[in-house]
Chains A and B, each alone.
Chain A
């Protein structure tokens, strides 16, 4: 499960690293991040995703990587929920940073699906955290 989570994050990071201006466009579309921070966020966040994903895959600093991944998932869920509440239909830019040419209805359906998927991944993080916690407890 830990490796699967890591692979998800590495796969999500690579297109964003390859084309930061397109990812910045996606971040801008969310209408949440202040203008002055969009470039910085578009540049650094994909690398944080990549390093966290790699740490999970390689089994290095897994506790910290899991926390970072969970924090990012919460952030994504909140960001998409805010835009759903505002009726601002957007491309999530999760795995593809190019404009997909989808209809607003398709985008709306995607946004619901992304929230569901990210919640599932968050539950995976919780399960990993729980398993690690049980492993740490001394047996009686």
Chain B
């Protein structure tokens, strides 16, 4: 076998493939475009300018920590009897789902997010909290929680969107307001990634709707289709 010829052919095939990949990415639309550099998913990137310009919330800005009732129920128990105004949180390991059934949603600067179920999500929705949809834009357009904005962690403009959000709500008091992020429930991690990203720029009151949009639809929550919130 002629190894030199073999190697040249392989290099040509791979080179042509890389060239086509670069060209197709250059002409791709916003939803299909990929970033060449940086870690993946994009959600793990924290915009440097934002992080360095923002002091970490502490002292007066930080509200009292949520009341912890441990251990969390293994079955989740959305409708389970619990004392009013209590919050069930996960152990530091963050592997078990957390169910918040509180009337209030105090910030939690010590953890990136708290998982919540439908009742708490609906409460926050009724209060006018900011909702962010971490799924792909095409999926968002097929149906999303009314008022939710599209913040897909898998698309190249996520940093841009997060920076824009920071420009809108950069004040520490605004950063302490509840934000609900969701994706498709089940083993979908997109909302957790987005929550991590928001926490990275000091949003310290982020909630992950653990069962996501399918659960919202199932329970009859208000939904909207199309590109607008």
Residues of A within 8 A of B (CB): 17-22, 24-25, 28, 35-40, 42-44, 46-48, 50-52, 55, 61, 63-65, 67-68, 99
Contact = CB atoms under 8 A, between A and B. Distances in A.
Nearest to B156: A21
Contacts of A65: 13
Contacts of B21: 43-44, 46-47
Contacts of B9: 61, 63-64
22 contacts: A20-B28, A21-B31, A21-B154, A22-B136, A22-B154, A24-B41, A24-B154, A35-B39, A38-B40, A39-B35, A39-B36, A40-B36, A43-B25, A44-B17, A46-B21, A47-B16, A47-B18, A55-B13, A64-B10, A67-B10, A68-B10, A68-B13
Interface in B160-190: 184, 188
Contacts, number: 89
B17 A48 contact: yes
Interface string B27-49: 01001101111111100100000
Nearest to B138: A19
B61 interface: no
B6 A67 contact: yes
B223 interface: no
Given A28-B40, A38-B40, A65-B13, 13 more contacts: A21-B34, A21-B152, A25-B41, A36-B38, A39-B35, A39-B37, A40-B36, A43-B25, A43-B34, A47-B16, A47-B18, A63-B6, A68-B10
A63 B145 CA distance: 53
B40 A21 contact: no
A44 B18 CA distance: 5
A64 B13 contact: yes
Binding site secondary structure of chain B: loop
A17 B27 CA distance: 13
The size bracket of the interface on B is 20 to 34
A35 B13 contact: no
A20 B25 contact: yes
Contacts of B12: 61
A50 B32 contact: no
Contacts of A46: 21
Contacts of B34: 20-21, 24, 39, 42-43
B155 interface: yes
A18 B41 CA distance: 19
B146 interface: no
B31, B40, B155 — most chain A CB neighbours (10 Å): B40
Contacts of A18: 32
Contact of A48 (B13, B44, B154): B13
B36 A25 contact: no
A48 B13 CA distance: 7
Contacts of A55: 13
Nearest to B14: A48
A36 B20 contact: no
